[in-house]
Amino acid sequence: MARSGAGQEEVDAITSVRGPAAAAALRSESGLTDREAQVLRLVAGGMSNSMIADHLVVSEKTVKNHINHIYAKLHVRNRAQAIERWRSAESVGV
């Protein structure tokens, strides 16, 4: 079912590097759910919506819904701004 792109080792690396600390910082600040923080961590790791859907075993529409909720909660307009907020949280959470 996995599409071409990030292999499992790459996904594991993306989700483990300072992810939990950054996720906790953003969740407390903005009210992101655990799943939204997980999706944002994968987005920040460079994964496409289809790759995220495959990894989480959900539909691509579900991923898009999570991303739209993330944008609203973080008060950002696009992926780049959301990633910037994630990286800022990483530096705070370390």
pLDDT tens for each residue of 59-83? 999 999 999 999 999 999 999 999 9
pLDDT confidence of residue 12: 53
pLDDT confidence of residue 1: 44
- The number of CA neighbours under 13 Å toward the Cβ of 88 is 9
* Residue 85: domain span: 12-93
pLDDT confidence of residue 26: 61
Number of domains observed in the structure of the chain: 1
How many Cβ atoms are within 10 Å of 66's Cβ, its own excluded? Answer: 25
Residue 61's domain is classified under what CATH number? 1.10.10.10
Q: Is residue 7 in a domain?
A: no
* Mean per-residue pLDDT, 1-14: 50
- Contact at 8 Å (CB) between 10 and 83? no
* Cα 81 to Cα 72: distance, rounded to the nearest angstrom: 12
pLDDT confidence of residue 60: 98
The pLDDT > 90 percentage for the chain reads 47
Q: Is residue 1 in a domain?
A: no
pLDDT confidence of residue 64: 98
Q: Is residue 33 in a domain?
A: yes
